[in-house]
A and B are shown apart, each in its own frame.
Chain A
Amino acid sequence: MTEEEFELLAAAYGGDLARWPEQVRGEAAAMARRVPRLGGLLQTECAFDERIGGEAPEVTADRAGAVMAAVTRAVAREREAAAYRLELWPAAPLAFAVCAILGFALGFAMSGTLSQGGPPQDAIAFLTGGGSDWGLLTR
């Protein structure tokens, strides 16, 4: 490790060698002992580390508890919504089945009517605009 590399690592990881990457700690410690300037650099970095470390936001137990309660409520709401969806889910195929049965029954009933001599004459007259006109067209 060169002195420049040492300085770069100190600027990144600070003055506590225990927080440097494991693979360089031993060599860095030996270097800091050997070169007084680098030992001094570690002390300066330690002071800066301490200053930054004191700036961590404080989170009280009450505040954390309030957020936990909010999460618990949200989870309960989500579970209720999921349970409601599960209750509704069987209703969809049931409704489909009822419609299908009704449609089939209606179709069956109508086919019985139509097969007995075809549609009534007044219905044909209504659809074609009257029996006399129909007669003219087919003449």
Chain B
Amino acid sequence: MEGDGTDGQLMLRIASGSEAALRTLMLRHMRRAIRLAESIVRNADEADDIAQEAFMRVWKNAARFDPSRAGFPAWLSRIVINLAIDRLREPPGEPIENHPDLPANDAPPLEQILAGERRRALQDALERLPGRQRAAIALFHFESLSGRDCASAMGLSEKAFESLLHRARCALKRMLGAEHASGEQA
């Protein structure tokens, strides 16, 4: 069946023009691509555009994919990260309201408010990180890739990725304040 096979086999079929293979590959990886893009650009619409563009590049450049150099997830992540970081360099457009007001007549219990505050603090901190540090956090924590795969996706050595991830986590802890200060001693 057309849809069967490893990512590498699907890429071979895509290189010979199989749209069915592209659909199968998208079914496997589209959500991850969107999530990674959104983790970096922090905007859902832009993330969708980036994921679309990334898979168009997969379609056009399938013949250039070399499984001996990196697995497909790392290759796709690299495309998404490059597109997302390019997007961050563009001048910002209209401001987008990320935190809609809570309905006045439906006040949540105190616990929910506090949990919401904690989330917002982390979201704000993530937003203030430089794009590459955000990408490192997204790959390692959201996509659960290994350090080696993260490094490959970002085109870095393992040691350089370790250093980038270290800086990102320390910056987050610093921004979140005393709550996680104990982890910042290193």
A111 to B150, CA, bound (A): 75
Residue of chain A at shortest CB distance from B38: A57
Q: Quick check: B26 and A71 within 8 Å, CB to CB?
A: yes
Q: How far is the CB of B93 from chain A (nearest CB, A)?
A: 19
**Interface majority SS on A: helix, strand, loop or mixed?**
helix
A-side interface size class: 35 or more
- On chain B, the number of residues with a Cβ less than 8 Å from chain A's Cβ atoms is 47
Q: Quick check: A7 and B186 within 8 Å, CB to CB?
A: yes
Q: Quick check: A44 and B52 within 8 Å, CB to CB?
A: no
Stretch at the interface among A48-56, A87-95, A98-106, A116-124: A48-56
Tell me if B30 counts as interface (CB < 8 A to partner A). Answer: yes
Residue of chain B at shortest CB distance from A49: B141
Tell me if B128 counts as interface (CB < 8 A to partner A). Answer: no
- List residues of chain A with CB within 8 A of the CB of B158: 21
Kindly identify which residue among B35, B38, B186 contacts A8, using a CB–CB cutoff of 8 Å: B186
- List residues of chain A with CB within 8 A of the CB of B184: 11
Tell me if A34 counts as interface (CB < 8 A to partner B). Answer: no
**A residues lining the B interface (CB < 8 Å):** 4, 7-14, 19-21, 41, 44-45, 47-49, 51-57, 59, 61, 63-64, 66-68, 70-72, 74-76, 78
Given contacts A61-B31, A72-B19, 17 further A-B contacts (CB under 8 A): A8-B186, A10-B186, A12-B163, A19-B147, A41-B183, A51-B180, A52-B122, A52-B137, A55-B142, A56-B138, A57-B35, A66-B48, A67-B30, A67-B34, A67-B48, A74-B56, A76-B19
